[in-house]
Amino acid sequence: MERPVSAAATTDPVSRRRLQPEERRQQIIDGAVAFFADVGLEGKTRDLAKRLGVTQSLLFNYFSSKDNLIEAVYEHVYLNRLSDDWPRRLTDRTRPLRDRLLDFYAEYSTLIFQYEWMRIFMFSGLAGAELNRRYLEHLGSVILTPLLAEIGAASRTGSRPGMEDLWNLHGGIVYIGIRQHIYRMPCPDDPSEAIEGAIDRFLHAFDVV
């Protein structure tokens, strides 16, 4: 086996010994995020150290175990991925629902359609990390559920989607990032047109003007 360690060499060949602890710690976390995104959470600490240009033992000076390091990676990646004013902005009925949805998915897609996020989210999901389920449940309750009512209110005919319909809208959009970063398929540089189309088709189906 032995997965080929995409050895991008040291990130900064100049950086040498004796950084301030906080700086070094941050450097390790940043490097670990990039590294584990590349090779998966079973990437070897020696390979990560080589990439950082430090010794493997140094990692254990900053993190008590590899699991502990991965925890820090999770925190770094999952933190603030979903800014908490979106529930308010999505339900601000002074603006057309279409604009609100376009704004949300424009910002959200730039946040999540990133190599590190996409891949670490998927790796941790496959590994059964609780963080995934919690994140998606959070997304469902603070974003999708409020949207049920918004669409119902904005519909000319009062037709309302079910929760599963909203997951379908969401999934269709997220799948762009999956194709791009997980499957490494050729994808449009700018996904906003595809996203706009998906949103318009969805609103159209529920008679939102």
Choices 77-85, 108-116, 151-159, 193-201 (CB under 8 A): range interacting with its own copies: 193-201
Residue 124 amino acid letter? S
Under DSSP, the state recorded for 9 is: -
Nearest to 111 by CA among 146, 78, 142: 78
Helix (H, G, I), strand (E, B) or coil at 38: helix
Site for its own copies in 47-66 (CB under 8 A): 65-66
Residue choice 99, 178, 192, 208 for contact with its own copies (CB under 8 A):
178
CA-based torsion, 42, 44, 50, 54: positive or negative: positive
Q: Is 110 in the site for DNA (CB under 7 A)?
A: no
**8 A C-beta contact, residue 44 and residue 86:** no
Q: Is 106 in the site for its own copies (CB under 8 A)?
A: no
The contact pattern for DNA, residues 35-54, with x = CB under 7 A and - = no contact, is -------x-xxxx-----xx
**8 A C-beta contact, residue 119 and residue 149:** no
The contact pattern for DNA, residues 64-83, with x = CB under 7 A and - = no contact, is xxxx----------------
Q: Is 145 in the site for DNA (CB under 7 A)?
A: no
Q: Is 153 in the site for its own copies (CB under 8 A)?
A: no
* C-alpha to C-alpha distance for 90 and 22, rounded to whole angstroms: 38
Site residues, DNA (CB under 7 A): 1-2, 16-21, 24, 42, 44-47, 53-58, 60-61, 64-67
